[in-house]
Amino acid sequence: MSFSGDVKEELLKKIDSARHCRIAELAAMVAFNGEIRKNSQNEIDLRVSAENPGIIRKYFTLLEKTFKINDEVSIDERIVKKNNRFTIDVGNQELTVNILQAVKILSLDRAVTSVEGLVSQMVIQKNCCKRAFLRGAFLCAGSISDPTKFYHFEIVCTSQEKARQLQELIQSFEIDAKIVKRKKYDVVYVKEGAQIVELLGLMGAGVSLMNLENVRILKGMRNTVNRKVNCETANINKTVNAAVKQMEDIAYIRDTIGLHRLPENLEETAMVRLEYPQASLKELGALLTVPIGKSGINHRLRKISTIAEQLRESHDVGNMDMRAHAASPAGSADRNKEEQV
């Protein structure tokens, strides 16, 4: 089973003890999966259908506990499967009216109330009722991605007004819910891992919350390790490149003027670097006759590099002077004399 399926299985077992919270969850089921119509006797019919039979069973359980139903007909005999959806009709007209009045779709005089969004605000006044409504909404029209891949929580609504009300409900818990248009539906979604964890807690999915937290911790540890490895690799590359450059500079000085022409402290530093090409700055400083720190050894190596650069520049200038002299009239005369000789 997917992670989303595991969350729903856990939420299907969650039954609130407070009647007003059970009504709020019923209101969500009616809003997302309910169908209200009048039959041939001009009576109101209430039908709830879902792809998951567990939702229908929970719907019936909520009705039993909230409206004290004593029916001899079992839930299994009431459920009808058609086109891969499971459907249940309330059947009893008085019970249908009681349900619709409880969720504020019908008034006390049985008139249909105008609700622009998903549900009347009277049903979700308390935070506990908002949590119950959110649980019912997720069961009917929600999904959550596999957290090992990415974080994504969403509930699909059939209109923008319904999506906005659901967004406001989630945002009342300081969770950054957003809306995106997907074909003919408006989808309320949350993408931040910590906020999805909070949503699971609000809905009452404690086990799934802990499983998601474990995944987040493991991913966080992997990311931390990867960052450290990348940082250490970058530092090693930087150290190696610096050491190669230092070796090239020292070798150039040795081959041009000789290391003995350097000041005594720089000569010793150059000799130690040549002898220990893979040593770190700290290790090089400790190998000197009078040990010095990293900043001290770094300062000496920079001086050596500066001397090497000056030698390269003076060598290039000398070559340029020689080429210029060869191209001049005086240079031509010298060549002629050499040829005559």
Q: What is the CATH number of the domain that holds 64?
A: 3.10.28.10
Q: Are 120 and 240 in the same domain?
A: no
Does residue 48 fall inside a structural domain? yes
Query: 193-203 and 206-256 are packed helices; what angle lies between their axes, rounded to 10 degrees?
Result: 170
Q: What is the rounded CA–CA span in Å between residue 331 and residue 322?
A: 9
> What pLDDT score was predicted for residue 189?
97
Domain that holds residue 313: 235-327
State how many domains the chain has.
2
pLDDT confidence tier of residue 114, bands split at 50, 70 and 90 = low
| pTM summary value | 0.68
196 lies in the same domain as 242: no
Please report which confidence band the pLDDT of residue 76 belongs to, taking 50, 70 and 90 as the band edges.
low
The confidence band for 322, taking pLDDT boundaries of 50, 70 and 90, is very low
Q: Of 200-214, 215-229, 319-333, where does mean pLDDT reach its minimum?
A: 319-333
In a domain, 211, yes or no: no
| Mean pLDDT on 135-148 | 94
pLDDT of residue 229: 87
Same domain, yes or no: 103 and 52: yes
Residue 202 host element (H or E): helix 193-203
Q: Are residues 198 and 304 in the same domain?
A: no
Q: Give 151-165 as a DSSP string.
A: --EEEEESSHHHHHH
Q: How far apart are CA 294 and CA 281, in angstroms?
A: 5
Whether 269 and 196 share a structural domain? no
**Out of 14-23, 111-120, 224-233, which region has the weakest mean confidence (pLDDT)?**
111-120
Q: How confident is the model over 94-98, as a mean pLDDT?
A: 86
In a domain? residue 173: yes
Are 14 and 112 contained in the same domain? yes
User: What is the model's pLDDT at position 70?
Assistant: 62
Q: 20 with 153, same domain?
A: yes
155 and 247 housed in the same domain: no
Question: Do 89 and 183 belong to one domain?
Answer: yes
User: Is residue 174's pLDDT more than 60?
Assistant: yes
**68 shares its domain with 173:** yes
Q: Which residue has the tokens 């009078």?
A: 290
* Residue 230 falls inside a structural domain: no
Kindly state whether residues 24 and 63 are assigned to the same domain.
yes
Which amino acid belongs to residue 175? I
Q: In this structure, is residue 86 part of a structural domain? A: yes
Residues 24, 194: Cα–Cα separation, whole Å: 26
Say if 215 falls within a structural domain.
no
Higher pLDDT, 95 or 126: 126
197 and 253 inside one domain: no
